[in-house]
Structures are given as structure tokens and as C-alpha cells.
């Protein structure tokens, strides 16, 4: 239980950090504070961190369930010659 909680906490923390990085990178690139190569490098690292964080938040995969076949209902012939 604690492992799942810790994994979700670290994933949320990494996702928040990556989004804050993007919020800082855009104005820094627009004003020219950071060179373009640094912005691209940090942006790529942010995308990787965000991808890893979102992958950590996904629930584990379950094997696909087989389709349940409907039960066959036996038909009986009743008065009038029609099946009920």
C-alpha cells in the first residue's frame, strides 16, 4: 500500500515540477535569458520527466476479460403452438 502511495506521490511531484519548468522556460526563451540550445535541452528533459510521471500514475494493466456468453433459455411450446 505504501509503495503505491509513494509512487503516486513521486509521480505527481515530478509532473508538477515538469510543468513548472515549462512555465519558466517559455518566458526565459522569449526574453533571451537562456540560449535556444539550453531551452531545447531542458524542454526535452521536461517532456521525458512528464512522460515518466504520467506513466507512473497509470493503473497497472489487467489482462482482458473474456466475453461472457449469454445463457440460453429453453423455449417451451405452449397453448396456441407458439414458443414462449
pLDDT at 68: 72
Measured CA to CA, the distance from residue 55 to residue 49 in angstroms comes to 10
Question: Is 44 in contact with 53 (CB distance < 8 Å)?
Answer: no
pLDDT at 57: 67
- Domain limits of the chain? 2-57
pLDDT at 81: 62
Angle at which helix 36-57 crosses helix 2-31, to 10 degrees, equals 160
Closest to 13 in 3D by CA, of 63, 59, 52, 66 = 52
pLDDT at 41: 92
C-alpha cell, 43:
524542454
Answer yes or no: pTM beyond 0.85: no
Mean pLDDT (10-residue bins), the chain, 84 residues = 79 86 89 90 88 74 73 73 58
Measured CA to CA, the distance from residue 27 to residue 20 in angstroms comes to 12
Amino acid at each position: 500500500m505504501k509503495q503505491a502511495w509513494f509512487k503516486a506521490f513521486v509521480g505527481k511531484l515530478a509532473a508538477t515540477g515538469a510543468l513548472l519548468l515549462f512555465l519558466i522556460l517559455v518566458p526565459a526563451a522569449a526574453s533571451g535569458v537562456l540560449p535556444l540550445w539550453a531551452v531545447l535541452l531542458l524542454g526535452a528533459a521536461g517532456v521525458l520527466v512528464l512522460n515518466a510521471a504520467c506513466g507512473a500514475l497509470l493503473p497497472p494493466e489487467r489482462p482482458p476479460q473474456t466475453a461472457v456468453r449469454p445463457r440460453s433459455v429453453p423455449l417451451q411450446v405452449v397453448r396456441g403452438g407458439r414458443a414462449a
